[in-house]
Amino acid sequence: MRTLTKALLGPILSVVVSSSLANAKDDSIKNQVEAGFNLKEAAAQKILKKYAFTGEERIDYYADIYDGRSFLLIPNPEMYKFRLKTTKGKAVLQANTKISILPSVCSEGWTFKVKEKAVGELKLNSHDREKFARAVVEQLDALNGADLSKAVHDVQKLHQQIVGLKLPLLDKLLSVPANNHWYFTASHLTKKIKWTALQDMGWGRVEVSITQGEDFVGSTFIQKKYEIEFQLEDEMSQEDFAQSICAFMKEQDLQPEDLQPGRSKPQLETLNRLSRINSLLGF
């Protein structure tokens, strides 16, 4: 099984949300409109060769709310998400929640959802970024180790750090659990190369991204994956945005078998590891 290399831990952080982090100034809340598909590798490579994409390496560290049985954020219909996005020059904590969803279908039969979401962000300095990322990896690995008391300590520590953040929209995420017994815990991380280009299909500019990702649970490699994502760049209606996506997809001559390949959910491995310490966490 592939492991998380030192290079991958490069811009990593260890999650010790210090007082400087908790008091950091936020960048308020912004709205994003986006849509996307999972792709097979051959389809992704075909599109990459056709346009002048600009690539950027990134690592995303995800945390979710655990109630002793399942995660409550990412599977939620409200599309809640908590993550740390890191690139070579920047680290941003994000809390996301859904504003609206517009089901869409192209004449070729491709179905997708145009999603509008609110994004609350908090920039981290390099020291806090390194702490947060390292803590995520170490906690996920501890859940699979022999020292269960360390795993419990790491879960409780990360939980306290996250709930103490001054992050816009975090209050929305904290209101999700139906009972009083739950923990914010790391769920997985994804190492990415994201290639982007602006395209105008007649309704305005859309940012098109091809992403090659590798999912990890701590230092355990789970899978390689490819995605195509679209983000609204110019002012236009969501209907016109959907038309732009259909036009781009048609231009690529993509076939049904190119889209939505099966893939694993790395969170399932984390849930399996968490179950080992349920009684110690009071579940």
What does the pLDDT look like over 102-134, one tens digit per residue?
999 999 889 999 999 999 999 999 999 999 999
Q: CA of 227: how far to CAs of 57, 73, 177, 216, in Å?
A: 15, 21, 30, 17
For residues 41 and 44, what is the distance between their CA atoms, to the nearest angstrom? 5
The pLDDT of residue 19 is above 80: no
**pLDDT digits over 56-99, tens only?**
999 999 999 999 999 999 999 999 999 999 999 899 999 999 99
The predicted pLDDT at position 4 comes to 42
The pLDDT of residue 145 is above 90: yes
Q: Give the lowest-confidence range in 5-19, 78-92, 200-214.
A: 5-19
The predicted pLDDT at position 20 comes to 34
Mean of per-residue pLDDT scores for the chain: 90
The pLDDT of residue 21 is above 50: no
Q: Average pLDDT in the 15-35 region?
A: 59
How much of the chain, in percent, has pLDDT values that exceed 90?
Answer: 85
The predicted pLDDT at position 127 comes to 94
**pLDDT digits over 164-174, tens only?**
999 999 999 99
The predicted pLDDT at position 3 comes to 38
For residues 194 and 208, what is the distance between their CA atoms, to the nearest angstrom? 10
Residue 252, Cβ density class (10 Å: 0-12 exposed, 13-18 middle, ≥19 buried):
middle
The pLDDT of residue 12 is above 70: no
Confidence of residue 135 (pLDDT cuts 50, 70, 90): very high
Confidence of residue 254 (pLDDT cuts 50, 70, 90): confident
What secondary structure letter does DSSP report for 178? Answer: S
111 vs 256, which has greater pLDDT?
A: 111
The predicted pLDDT at position 41 comes to 96
The predicted pLDDT at position 273 comes to 98
* Reported pTM: 0.89
146 vs 259, which has greater pLDDT?
A: 146
Token pair 């920047």: residue: 90
- Nearest CA to 216 out of 242, 186, 243 is that of 186
Residue pair 184/63 in contact (Cβ under 8 Å)? The answer is yes
- Nearest CA to 134 out of 265, 42, 10 is that of 10
